[in-house]
Amino acid sequence: MSAGYFPKREKVGLEDLFKGLVTASHILHQNKVLDAYGHVSVRSPDNPATFWMPCDMPPALVSTPDDLVEYQVDDATAVEKNAKKGYLERHIHSEIYKRFPSVNAVVHSHCSEVLPYCISGVPLKASTHMAGFLGSNVPVWDISSHYPSGAKHDLLVRDSQLGASLSAAFKPATSAGFIYSKVRSALPAQIGGSQEPDKEPNYAAVLMQGHGFTTLAHGIEEVVYQAIYTKEAAQAQTTALTIRNAHFGHIVEGKIDVEGGKIKSAKVKAEGDLKYLSDREAHDAWESNQGTVHRPWALWCREVEVHPLYKNECPGCEDD
């Protein structure tokens, strides 16, 4: 299920998964992708019909296997009858796992750097090579037209109907977002590759109107990388838009009626347009970076290991 985590293994044990899931929660908090809200989950390596995620608690405080809950992919119900209370929006995760059999990890975040692109109508795009996985366009899913009858209109993905609608946004019926699926379908099967491209998502991330974003991947290191660099890409794009608007002005081309104060046949043209990655550049950048995900993962693991806030008391397995 995971390549960078346990380089000597093709399979992942539950002890490793638990330790990694706790570590991922800490890394995402340390990098300000998650705060007291948001969550990360991983599909079970023993049973693809279930997945694990922390119980209803702040990600930074998750520390033991007892803090983790196993859920059914089919309906997001807990496998154990007396399981701890879970996150309300676990249907985000269950419906993604249901729709995409090769996806093994999901992150949902309300990251403040990304939120402006969830409400402004300004498209989030891959502007740097580290975020090539975003492609040339990140979809924005608007929950407002998908609420079931009688449901609360609180923007929360409370049930399977809303979760299924969100998961469909990762592979819309008419989509130009081919980058993600093309790269993933070429991967070896043991690290999440698929021989069924029609079951691969077309997008690595989807923005949620007025809410946040969700990203998916084939392994836990990869989904953490994508979540962090979605934040970094949004921050870079916002900064670039800000300095562009501060530095460049607007020029008017054509005829202007000065006395009447009207523009006759002229048009206003902005100077200094931002240059985003092309589809080819985004594809090739992500293909190159994908093989290096273990590098930042090792750094992030060490950062949370030595930080006094984070406690990971999950026993790990020794590599064979």
Report how many domains make up the chain.
Answer: 1
In a domain, 3, yes or no: no
6 backbone φψ class: left, alpha, beta (φ>0; ψ -120 to 50): beta
Q: Are 223 and 40 in contact (CB under 8 A)?
A: yes
In a domain, 245, yes or no: yes
Q: What is the 3-state secondary structure of 160-223?
A: HHHHHHHHHCCCCCCCCCCHHHHHHHCCCHHHCCCCCHHHCCCCCEEEECCCEEEEEECCHHHH
Which two three-digit tokens encode residue 55?
């119980």
Cα dihedral sign, 202-133-176-209: positive
Which two three-digit tokens encode residue 144?
């407002």
In angstroms, rounded to a whole number, what is the distance separating the alpha carbons of residues 93 and 52?
10
- Cα angle for residues 222, 226, 230 (degrees, 5° grid): 175
Q: Are 203 and 138 in contact (CB under 8 A)?
A: yes
In a domain, 145, yes or no: yes
In a domain, 52, yes or no: yes
Place of tokens 């809410």: 211
CATH number at 61 reads 3.40.225.10
In a domain, 317, yes or no: no
Q: Which pLDDT belongs to residue 82?
A: 93
Closest CA to 40 of 53, 51, 27: 53
Q: Which domain holds residue 74?
A: 14-305
Instruction: Tell me whether residue 244 is exposed, middle or buried, using C-beta atoms within 10 angstroms of its C-beta: 0 to 12, 13 to 18, 19 or more.
Output: middle
In a domain, 81, yes or no: yes
pLDDT in tens, the chain (320 residues): 343 343 334 556 788 899 999 999 999 999 999 999 999 999 998 899 999 999 999 999 999 999 999 999 999 999 999 999 999 999 999 999 999 999 999 999 999 999 999 999 999 999 999 999 999 989 999 999 999 888 899 999 999 999 999 999 999 875 444 455 555 555 544 444 455 667 899 999 999 999 999 999 999 999 999 999 999 999 999 999 998 887 776 666 666 566 565 555 656 565 557 889 999 999 999 999 999 999 999 999 999 999 999 999 998 765 44
In a domain, 67, yes or no: yes
In a domain, 102, yes or no: yes
The catalytic site residues sit at: 89
Residues in the chain: 320
In angstroms, rounded to a whole number, what is the distance separating the alpha carbons of residues 120 and 122?
5
Q: Mark 190-205 as b/e (b = at least 16 C-beta within 10 Å).
A: ebbebeeeeebbbbbb
Instruction: Say whether 127 sits in a helix, a strand or coil.
Output: coil
In angstroms, rounded to a whole number, what is the distance separating the alpha carbons of residues 315 and 93?
25
Contacts of 218 (CB under 8 A, 6+ apart): 1, 102, 103, 104, 105, 184, 187, 191, 192, 193
Give the C-alpha distances (Å, rounded to integers) separating 46 from 118, 210, 222. Answer: 36, 36, 20
